[in-house]
Amino acid sequence: VGRATELDRLAASLDEAVGGRTPAVVVEGESGAGKTRLLREFATRAAELERVLDLALGLDDGHPQTAAR
């Protein structure tokens, strides 16, 4: 992915969740910036650690596109 800093931040939020907190993370950027790719890479890494993620993807106009667990 080439986004080590962003992946590290997401991993820190996952660690908080494992520790009992309920962090919410917003990933935003221009179309084509790699948001979906970043989240897919993170989800793959989380799955390797046997962690479950709740993801919701949407558009700026407020219409949700995807919700996944």
Distances (CA, A) of 23 to 4, 5, 10, 12: 20, 18, 10, 10
DSSP annotation of 62 reads S
Residues 1-49 have pLDDT tens digits of 478 999 999 989 888 888 888 778 888 888 888 888 898 888 888 888 7
Helices 4-18/35-48 angle, 10° precision? 50
Residue 52's pLDDT band (cuts 50, 70, 90): confident
